[in-house]
Amino acid sequence: MDNRINKDVLEVPMDFRIACESFGIQVADFLQLMVSQFAFVNLFGEDDSVYNLIVRSFMEAEEVLERQGGYKTNYSLADKANQALPIFKQLYKLGANRNYSWNAKRSRSKKIVDKLFLITGKDIRAQPKVYLDEDTAITLSRDFRIWSTIHNCPVIPVLNAMMQRVSLADLYARQHLDEIEYNPTLGMYLRIQQGYGDLVNRDHLNGLGFKDFLCDLQEFEMRYFLFHRLADRVEMYREQFLENYNEMNKANII
């Protein structure tokens, strides 16, 4: 599987598309939710919320980009340091404050981020929108745009790196072989699949194509039990998921 990351345009991996569309989730809706609910204050602490999963997802994507090289520390905001550092300290103290719930922290952080944006706005490299295609825009939150600029994580490659972490083939192969790994992006995908954000098309789930897709999925573990290596199991699952995805789409057209 080609794991290169496109730096110029949003490139939806087939594994990601299959994971979303097979369960009635539009790719654009998934991406929009991820960037809209990115909360800068969650960089300074952890909770068990979806906001934490989202922040960890992008932090993991950032690490992938760093390993591939070509991304250096961004010093373009250095001349704003005297004004910006006190505001960053406010965010850090808010994130570390145990007297507030995380919902309260995120609510209070909005005004702080707005202050930060007023100071740094002219130097923010991330544009307000990126395009999945010529008709589909993903609108970026201020939190996400500031993080992207400060961490020097261009929006397009970091979104592409994040999408590569969602694969039904990898998910079920790991489950069936008991080789689970920490994957916040996949965790967020599962939350959405289970109803978070109300992104799932329920009519799709009631269709015959999805029911056949799900029925065949339940047979994967027994059908491929002779494949003990994770890489082999993932590849077998990937081929079958693609075939089933195409069959499901044909059934939905009829």
pLDDT at 158 over 80: yes
Residue-level pLDDT at 127:
86
Which residue did the predictor score with more confidence, 88 or 254? 88
Distances (CA, A) of 212 to 46, 59, 72: 39, 36, 48
Residue-level pLDDT at 80:
67
Query: pLDDT tens, 32-80?
Result: 999 999 999 999 988 889 999 999 999 999 999 888 875 655 555 556 6
Average pLDDT over residues 217-223: 95
Average pLDDT over residues 180-197: 96
Average pLDDT over residues 143-167: 91
Query: pLDDT tens, 94-130?
Result: 998 999 999 999 999 999 999 888 887 777 777 889 9
Phi, psi of 129 (to 5 degrees): -140, 150
Identify which of 88, 97, 105 has the alpha carbon closest to the alpha carbon of residue 49. 105
Residue-level pLDDT at 66:
86
